[in-house]
Amino acid sequence: MENHSSLQDNPMQHYKRAYQIFDVQSNSVYIWDFSGQMTQFVGDGENCPNDCLGQATEEALLELQVYGLPNMDKDTVARKPETAMNGTFRSRHSDSNLSIHMNDTVESQSSSEPFLGPQSSSRRYGETEVLGLTGLQNLGNTCFMNSAIQCLAHTPKLIDYFLGDFKREINYENPLGVNGKLALAFGDLLRRLWAPGGMAVVPTLFKSTLEGFAPQFYGYNQHDSQEFLAFLLNGLHEDLNRVKHKLYTQIGYTEGIPDQQMADEYWQIHLARNDSIIVDLCHGQFRSKLVCPVCRRVSVTFDPFMYLSLPLPSTTMRTMTVTLLSTDGSMPPSQLTVTVPKCGRCKDLIQALSTACSLQDDETLFVAEVYNHFILRYLEDPSDSLALIRDHDCLVAYRLPKESENSQLVVFMHQERNLGFRCLFGIPLVTRISGISDGLQIHNAYMKLLRPFLNTDEDGSDDTGNSDYELAKMETILSNLDDLSSSDDELEHYSDFLFRFTNERGIEGQRINLKKPLDLSDTGSKLHVLVSWPEQMVRRYDTSRLSLLPEVFEPGISAIKPQESVSLSKCLEGFLKEEPLGPDDMWYCPSCKQHRQASKKLDLWRLPEILIVHLKRFSYSQLLRDKLETFVDFPLDELDLTGFLSHDSDPSLNHYRLYAISNHFGSMGSGHYTALIYHGKSWYEFNDSLVEPLKEEDVKTSAAYVLFYRRISGT
């Protein structure tokens, strides 16, 4: 028989179900009626009155007394031989939720000596012990596995299935499965988790079985609980697939066919190859529409899904601090802090900076990342992701006049002598110079850029206004720069600065003669110049201001940001919105006979009984891995998905209640997973082997990673 509580269950079925779950002899099981609806009966039901075989119309509270439990796993329960147990079995007809309570009694032992060891995670209320609150020991970075398993171990109907005779459905012939090994190991683990009076279970056997055919989970590295969950559900499905021989079936011509008819046909094709308890509970169906951007050809398909992976909306914001520099020497450096979308693009950052600095129509911003006193990269592509910019990076925005035909971008890097060695210092300065013909133009442009950094006299003045001094100094410089064979030290004795051509990293190149024409035909769009500072110039300018470069985000300095929040509905809207396919995911248009970057629109069509929602907190790129700590406000008791379906359906099938959460705390690679479970009428936190009650107001946190909802029948 199928182990499933429903409105059709009667006391005799309750008795048989308890007998089957615990695999005990009939004379060891006694059922007592506490509901007042049925008459007390004992044994195997022979003394049960006729009216107890009828249908139960309301929730009935029955007590199940179990003595001995001869088949209890010794790794799960540690008890003395003379110990006897009795307990309470509850079946809640309204939501098919299994909850078993056990009472501890002692015959030849002091009642003050506990049966449960110090690591036990079963919970006792007076003399009553609630089953299903058994923890899983951490074998070493296996919290990701423990969290996912606890969520599945408290999934309605899945519990009934694996505590029943599931072995008869194992598909030993399926080449996509593992000969039933995964299903058997998982079923054994669930029985140990639901055994009465259990210590925290050590899942060594399950993990070793898993490693035998899933080498990605070998060893004790941290993994993603959602990736593990997806693998486990797929593996259980293939091991338990009722379809022994999968036939290939292709959908026929669909143009002009009503959506409902097409959806049903796609679903039947899916079921013809996939039929298991996982499909029964977790599989739903998308309506997917593709539109060609050229010929407007529309293609509609209906694809199955096992869970929803929802991106957190791109409206989630991030603050970034950027150093703003003028390129004409008119203003000292300043810092701008702007707010941009965390998943935005470089164009969003440039737009925010332009607004913050009141950029004029004839100006533009040149944004770059500075590292070790040289420009590491230029943020020139507006479509580049801002996720590539980390909090400890340093950004500079140069305020430039708009490019003219004969102007060249010149990047100045600074060099000084330190302990006998020359090294870079400060922020590179940038300007545009039109029609460069000789080194004197480069010299004058650099001097202009340095004006905001001049040290002032006590009365607030400087010597830049003394034209006689400047002219005399320049004549001395030019007269001594004729001899290019002179050493750097000799030249610096006469010159304010020494200029050399260089590359992007500041490697010394050819010396620039200020009096002679320059050949810049091979320099490209950017001319890099290295400027050596003599000691007297280091004293004359405030180099500390030239070196002030804050990071993009410094938590210890910046004000604490309010926690970002978004509703689960907004996440769903973002997932289902129409958007173009990526360049690597082009669609072949049957009308154009070419691959096109079509627009794609997803809609929910068929909802599963168990809805698993994955919140995509982790973002990956070639250079960066990051976690989003956005708080997602998700409903606990009433998730209504009616508005997200693309067709009219039975409203009673669109309402869900939350019953489990897989949480992730910390950062990638060094975080920790736990599970929150709604059991009976209370929430509990499953933190590996430790299980503790939880207040309902503490359920919603920014650690929520995978949400488990079950359909509410009859809403």
> What are the DSSP calls for 380-422, one per residue?
--TTSBGGGS-TT--EEEEEEEPP-TTEEEEEEEEEEEETTEE
> Are 294 and 598 in contact, with CB atoms under 8 Å apart?
no
Examine the pLDDT at 523 and tell me if it is beyond 80.
no
Buried b (16+ CB within 10 A) or exposed e, 129-149: bbbbbbbbbbbeebbbbbbbb
Q: What CATH number does the domain containing 617 carry?
A: 3.90.70.10
CB atoms within 10 A of CB 555: 10
Report pLDDT for 19: 54
pLDDT recorded at residue 281: 97
308 lies in the same domain as 322 = no
**Domain extent for 362:** 317-546
* Token digits of residue 26: 């009939």
- Which residue has better confidence, 213 or 695? 695
C-beta atoms surrounding 547 within 10 Å? 13
pLDDT of residue 50: 42
354: tokens are 């332009």
CA separation, residue 127 to residues 42, 103, 115, 635, 647 (Å): 22, 6, 12, 34, 52
Give the rounded distance of the alpha carbon of 276 from its chain centre.
Answer: 29
* pLDDT score for 159: 93
Give me the mean pLDDT over the 592-603 stretch. Answer: 89
Segment 358-381 shows an average pLDDT of 92
Same domain, 434 and 529: yes
Distance CA 130, CA 223 (A): 31
Predicted confidence (pLDDT) per residue in 140-179, tens digit: 999 999 999 999 999 999 999 999 999 999 999 999 999 9
Same structural domain, 449 and 307: no
Residues 500 and 356 in one domain: yes
Taking 90 as the threshold, does the pLDDT of residue 474 lie above it?
no
Residue 225 inside a domain? The answer is: no
Q: Does one domain contain both 414 and 289? A: no
Task: Kindly tell me if the per-residue pLDDT of 634 is higher than 60.
Answer: yes
- Which of 546, 580, 612 corresponds to the end of one domain? 546
68-122 pLDDT per residue, tens: 333 334 333 333 233 333 333 333 333 333 434 333 332 322 222 222 222 334 4
Note the pLDDT of residue 178.
92
Write down the pLDDT at residue 71: 38
| Same-domain status, 327 and 431 | yes
The first and second tokens of residue 109, run together, are: 């032992």
> Can you give the pLDDT at residue 15?
56
Q: Which residue do the tokens 């209640």 mark?
A: 657
Please check the confidence at residue 461 and state whether its pLDDT lies above 50.
no
All residues at 6 or more sequence positions from 154 whose CB lies less than 8 Å from its CB, including other chains: 132, 659, 660, 677, 678, 679
Return the pLDDT at 417. Answer: 81
The C-alpha atoms of residue 182 and residue 211 are separated, in whole angstroms, by 10
Task: Identify the band that residue 191 occupies on the pLDDT scale cut at 50, 70 and 90.
Answer: very high
Identify which has the larger pLDDT, 562 or 238.
238
Do residue 305 and residue 323 come from a single domain?
no
| Cα distances (angstroms) measured from residue 322 to each of 288, 325, 349, 354, 382 | 42, 10, 10, 12, 17
Question: Both tokens of residue 650?
Answer: 């039975």
* H or E segment and range at residue 16: helix 11-22
Give the tokens for residue 54.
Answer: 């009828």
The predicted model gives 524-546 an average pLDDT of: 89
Q: In this structure, how many other beta carbons lie within 10 angstroms of the beta carbon of residue 469?
A: 11
Span 543-588, pLDDT tens digits: 888 988 999 887 654 444 455 688 999 999 989 988 888 777 888 9
pLDDT average, residue stretch 34-53? 40
Rounded Cα distance, 158 and 35, in Å? 27
Rounded Cα gap, residues 300 and 349, in angstroms:
37
Q: Do 415 and 361 sit in the same domain of this protein?
A: yes
As separate numbers, helices (DSSP H) first and strands (DSSP E) second, the chain gives 15, 34
What is the pLDDT, as a whole number, of residue 693?
A: 95
Same-domain status, 447 and 518: yes
* CA–CA dist 293, 636 (Å, integer): 41
pTM equals: 0.59
Can you tell me the mean pLDDT for 528-539?
A: 91
Q: Look at residue 176 and tell me if it is in a domain.
A: no
Last residue in a domain, options 115, 142, 157: 115
Q: What is the mean pLDDT of residues 343-360?
A: 90
pLDDT-above-90 percentage for the chain: 43
Residue corresponding to tokens 């309506």: 287
Res 222 pLDDT > 90 = no
Tell me the pairing of strands 631-633 and 639-640.
unpaired
Are the C-beta atoms of 276 and 258 separated by less than 8 Å?
no
Last residue of a domain, one of 52, 81, 115: 115
In a domain, 282, yes or no: yes
Q: Does 672 qualify as catalytic in the annotation?
A: yes
| Confidence (pLDDT) at 33 | 42
3-state secondary structure of 460: coil
Taking residue 551's Cβ as centre, other Cβ atoms within 10 Å add up to 16
Reference 223, options 331, 316, 147, 130; nearest CA is: 147
Q: Indicate whether 296 pLDDT > 70.
A: yes
CATH code for position 478: 3.10.20.90
> Helix 204-213 vs helix 181-193: angle between axes, to the nearest 10 degrees?
160
Residues 336-362 have a mean pLDDT of 89
Q: What confidence score (pLDDT) does residue 286 get? A: 94
Q: What pLDDT is attached to residue 464?
A: 44
Is 655 a residue whose pLDDT tops 90?
yes
Q: What percent of the chain has pLDDT over 70?
A: 72
Based on the residue annotation, tell me whether 143 is a catalytic residue of this protein: yes
pLDDT band at 699, cuts 50/70/90? very high
Is 434 strand, coil or helix?
Answer: strand
Q: What is the pLDDT of residue 72?
A: 38
CA distance 23 to 35: 25
Q: Could you tell me which residue, 246 or 27, shows the higher pLDDT?
A: 246
> pLDDT digit string (tens) for 446-460?
999 999 999 875 344
| Cβ–Cβ under 8 Å, residues 327 and 289 | no
Q: Average of pLDDT values for 261-288? A: 94
CA 256 distance to own-chain centroid: 40
pLDDT of residue 214: 87
Name the residue with higher pLDDT: 542 or 44: 542
333 with 440, same domain: the answer is yes
Q: Which of 78-87, 498-507, 518-527 has the lowest mean pLDDT?
A: 78-87
Question: Which of helix, strand or coil describes residue 439?
Answer: helix
d(CA 72, CA 195): 7
Is residue 13, in this structure, part of any structural domain at all? yes
Q: How many residues does the chain have?
A: 715
665 with 643, same domain: the answer is yes
Q: Using CA atoms, how far apart are residues 312 and 630, in angstroms rounded to an integer?
A: 8
Find all residues with CB under 8 Å of 410, minimum gap 6, and list them: 430, 431, 432, 433, 436, 442, 445, 526, 527, 528, 529
pLDDT given at position 435: 83
Specify whether 428 is located in the same domain as 478. yes
Closest CA to 169 of 280, 268, 18, 21: 280
Is 379 a domain residue?
A: yes
The answer to whether position 144 is within a domain reads no
Give the per-residue pLDDT at 45. 41
Answer for the pair 402, 434: CB distance below 8 angstroms, yes or no.
no
pLDDT of residue 57: 39
pLDDT of residue 521: 75
Q: Is residue 253 part of a domain?
A: no
pLDDT band at 408; cut points 50, 70, 90:
confident
Structure confidence at residue 93 (pLDDT): 31
- Is 408 among the domain residues? yes
pLDDT band at 317 (very low <50, low <70, confident <90, very high): confident
pLDDT, one tens digit per residue, over 204-218 is: 999 999 988 888 898
Which pLDDT belongs to residue 39? 38
- Domains contained in the chain, number: 3
Q: Of residues 143, 343, 346, 589, which has the active-site annotation?
A: 143
Of the listed ranges 331-345, 430-444, 468-482, 502-516, the least confidently predicted one is 468-482
